[in-house]
Amino acid sequence: MKSAVILISGRGSNLRALLDAKLDLDIRCVVSNRPDAPGLEIAHTQKIKCKIIDHRQYASRELFDAALANSIDRFAPDYVILAGFLRIFTSTFVLHYHQRMINIHPSLLPAFTGLDTHTRALAAGVKIHGCTVHFVTPDLDGGPIIIQAAVPVLPNDTKDSLAQRVLTEEHKIYPKAISWLISDRIHMHGDQVLIKNTHPNATNLISPWN
């Protein structure tokens, strides 16, 4: 069985989605950089070990990342899964987990990297928005894409209504991506992600039009 440490900063809805999927995955610890993260209660309820590494207690990003890596490595996980972890890592940290760290981002990358993706999507007038699961690289939100889900942007959307529609898709595609990962179905071809044993006409894009 493959193992993982999951990092969270907030409510942990993607953590819950992964737990609800009942994946064949040994979650060895949930780590948060915020002591008040509601997602910690989800982990406690499931009797998953939790650890808090408060970034505010460290004088630099480098020191925080070193402490975080030291804590993660104590559990020797196969993968590090970011489930709403709101910190930007140093290159040293990212490269330490090369092709072992996965993130979900609330936009159709490479569009709208960084924060406030839903507000920016509405301001740009895009007609399709969504979410992306990708490997983490030193290039912010620029790692190889595993799977995406698209949603329509409706004329009366607010950032909150759009965010909720995207979040619903996040909860579908993150467990799917992790299931591919832990069953060794993901194959890297250069910077491209290929999924083994899929139908020749299958796509790594989930959309309302499929």
**Burial grade of 196 (CB within 10 A; 0-12, 13-18, 19 or more):** exposed
Residue 122: which of 87, 165, 89 has the closest Cα?
A: 165
In the prediction, which pLDDT does 191 show? 87
What's the rounded Cα separation, in Å, for the pair 105 and 93? 19
Average pLDDT over residues 96-108: 98
Whether the per-residue pLDDT at 147 is higher than 70: the answer is yes
Chain segment 15-31, per-residue pLDDT in tens: 999 999 999 999 999 99
In the prediction, which pLDDT does 189 show? 86
What's the rounded Cα separation, in Å, for the pair 33 and 23? 25
Chain segment 151-189, per-residue pLDDT in tens: 999 999 999 999 999 999 999 999 999 999 999 999 888
Whether the per-residue pLDDT at 123 is higher than 60: the answer is yes
CATH number of 104-210: 3.40.50.170
Chain segment 38-49, per-residue pLDDT in tens: 999 999 999 999
Q: Tell me if 118 sits within 8 A of 105, measured CB to CB.
A: no
In the prediction, which pLDDT does 47 show? 97
What amino acid positions are annotated as catalytic residues?
105
In the prediction, which pLDDT does 197 show? 75
User: Which residues are bridge partners to 195 per DSSP?
Assistant: 186
Average pLDDT over residues 107-134: 98
In the chain, where does the domain assigned CATH 3.40.50.170 lie? 1-97, 104-210
Whether the per-residue pLDDT at 202 is higher than 60: the answer is no
Topology adopted by domain 1-97: Rossmann fold (3.40.50)
Whether the per-residue pLDDT at 66 is higher than 60: the answer is yes
In the prediction, which pLDDT does 28 show? 98
Average pLDDT over all residues of the chain:
95
